[in-house]
Structure 1
Amino acid sequence: MKKIMVFLLICAMTVFLAACANGKKESADSKAGQLQNITIGLMPDVDSIPFIIAQEKGYFKEEGITVTLKSFRSAVDRDSALQSGNLDGAISDMLAEAFAKEGGFNTVITSLTSGSYKLVINKDETITSIKELKGKDVAISKNTIIEYVTDKIISQGGLAPEDIHKVVIPQIPTRLEMLQNGKVAAATLPEPMASIAVRNGGKLLNSSDQLGINPGVLIFTTKAVNEKDKELQGMYRAYNKAIEYLSREPMENYIDLLIEKGGFPESVKGALVLPQYKKAVAPGIKDVEDCVTWLQARQLIQKAYPYKELVDDRFVRQ
């Protein structure tokens, strides 16, 4: 009888432990199954490259998350998609975040990106200094990071922003085409479009890199930040893996991928200049405040939004 009781007790314990193990597995599986999709809007610039790499190299998948990348050709279209709820986040800029706050849209900056913005002169122009741009046509996108950088470059060169004639061309490929076809004297372009312009004969006059400014950021809706906390943590881990990949791999190993998946033209081969990518960090307080000051000076926003109202650094704290 004792042997039977011991045998039954062992059986019961075995069943119990197996049930616990299965329960833990089911709980983990259930938890993984609850992870939601993240949709991110990209622009045709170098800020988007880490996301393309993370997607194509499987880094998002390694983190157990599904990320959908959507491409846009203009900041206006990107912002409309974000504000209408069709995106969780987007490659954007500090100005766009301030505009969103002013318009009552609930979004926040979650990290800095590594963009580069350059003022390039038409190949047929003899301009060699900023002062020679006085009265000339300069292609920009209005009230965006592009106009902000343009104003900074113009001011640093000794002119007032009003001294040039700003031609508003929102779509980046069209702006490049207008420059190369001689329709404007100069244009401010993000990479890789700026490098393409220079390769085709354009002359670099100045850039955000040379000025030591970078207003490029990643923006997410407040809803996504609050409801997709684990997903965003995984996204940033994957993003940082992509940064590590870019730091060690020669460009020829992924340039075709960028052309195929990133919408970059074939002409980037041999022309693309990448920034010094850094792992995700929060933007600097002064950089954010400078953008807000610029917007207020032009009466584009009413409130001097404080840093903490625009930035949520929870995902990139060291």
Structure 2
Amino acid sequence: MKLLRMQTMFILILSLVLITTGCAKEEQRTVHPDTEEGTESVPSLKVGMMSAVDAAPFYHALEAGYYEDEGVDVELVLFTNGQHRQTALQTQQVDGAMSDLVALITQSTSDFRLIGTLSTDGAFPLLASGPLTEGTTITAATMEISVTNYLLDAYLSDRYDVEKVFINEIPARLEAVVSSQLDTGIFPEPFASIGALRNLEKLTFEGIPEESLNIIAFTEKAIQEKESQIAGFHRAYERAVKDIQGNPKLARTALMNAVPALPEAIRETMGLPEYHEPSLPSESFTSKIVSWTEGITGTEYAVGIKDLYDARFVNAL
């Protein structure tokens, strides 16, 4: 009974973290460069972040004052719920946001278009409630139309018969694995490390995926009206990545400062990706993800890299 109460309390705490950072967008510190009275203010840019390790360079750039150096007033808005992020984009509460290739592909058939400008580096470990025996049937928690579903196939399909259970909310997905209702599930860092605190085994897979599945995307309106601000945003990101490559602790500090209520115990244990110089996905990798997405949704997407990405901001660096 005591263990049950402890588990219940953990889920309540984790749910509160997600609700307070996701269900209602939480504005982070905005850089406001000094301007003389009577002069125009510095152009602004509002970008949605997710509670994931991808966000570390963006928050480090904010803390280091790199956006200000590049002449743009950047506001980072934190989300943990993809639907809330999408709503903010469609209602023009933000100019752009962290997203992923599957989402970018599926929205390409809608009237509301997003354009990818920068790959970001994430981490999606597998959490298991116990040993996974090859050649057996295992149950796995994931989201259906998502990069986690793609990764589940990439991680396990050649060694296991995988029975997928679609659970969108991270706390419910985590509890299903912790309670051994399901054998395993995919969770983004740093939430995978929170699961490891509950004695789940955290598994990573070298070289999967071969390129980043995550991306920064801006609305067409923002691309048209805020080209210079977006260019400055990318320059600041490049500077932040170089800092983190030299000192990875800067990424851990940025995440601990930006994501509310992360346990101090995961500061050194959360898995960080290798942060790369600014780039966009290759044509071959994009085609692979388009084909996979078509198989999941039953929809044909006649899109390529010129339809999905605007490379000028990366190419200018």
TM-score, reference length from structure 1: 0.79
Cα distance, 1:73–1:177 mapped onto 2, change above 3 Å: farther
Q: Which residue of 2 aligns with 1:60?
A: 67
Cα distance, 1:53–1:176 mapped onto 2, change above 3 Å: farther
Amino acid corresponding to residue 306 of structure 1 in structure 2: G
Q: Any idea what SS the aligned residue of 1:316 has?
A: helix
Checking the alignment, whether the CA contact within 8 Å between 1:39 and 1:69 is kept in structure 2 is: yes
Q: Which residue of 2 aligns with 1:273?
A: 271
Q: Any idea what SS the aligned residue of 1:92 has?
A: strand
Q: Any idea what SS the aligned residue of 1:220 has?
A: strand
Q: Which residue of 1 aligns with 2:255?
A: 258
Q: Which residue of 1 aligns with 2:148?
A: 146
Cα distance, 1:158–1:315 mapped onto 2, change above 3 Å: same
Give the CA deviation at 1:135: 4.8
Q: Does 1:126 align with 2:131?
A: yes
Give the CA deviation at 1:286: 1.4
Q: 2:227 aligns with which of 216, 226, 229?
A: 229
**Paired positions, count:** 280
RMSD value, Cα: 2.5
Q: Which residue of 2 aligns with 1:291?
A: 289
Aligned counterparts of 2:295 and 2:240: Cα–Cα separation in 1:
38
Amino acid corresponding to residue 150 of structure 2 in structure 1: Y
Q: Any idea what SS the aligned residue of 1:175 has?
A: helix
Q: Any idea what SS the aligned residue of 2:141 has?
A: strand
Percent identity between the aligned chains?
26
Give the CA deviation at 1:254: 6.0
Cα distance, 1:118–1:224 mapped onto 2, change above 3 Å: same
1:88-138 deviations in Å (ceiling 9; x for gaps)? 11111111111111222121111111112122212xx23244x43x252x2
1:120-176 deviations in Å (ceiling 9; x for gaps)? 212xx23244x43x252x2212211111211222323354xxx413231x2335533
Cα distance, 1:53–1:128 mapped onto 2, change above 3 Å: farther
Q: Which residue of 2 aligns with 1:85?
A: 92
Aligned counterparts of 2:79 and 2:206: Cα–Cα separation in 1:
22
TM-score, reference length from structure 2: 0.79
Give the CA deviation at 1:34: 6.2
1:7-51 deviations in Å (ceiling 9; x for gaps)? xxxxxxxxxxxxxxxxxxxxx989x93653211111111111111
Larger Rg, first or second structure (1 or 2): 1
Q: Any idea what SS the aligned residue of 1:156 has?
A: coil
Give the CA deviation at 1:74: 2.0
Give the CA deviation at 1:206: 4.5
Q: 2:121 aligns with which of 90, 95, 114?
A: 114
Aligned counterparts of 2:240 and 2:47: Cα–Cα separation in 1:
16
- Give structure 2 stretches of 5+ with no counterpart: 1-34
- Give structure 1 stretches of 5+ with no counterpart: 1-27
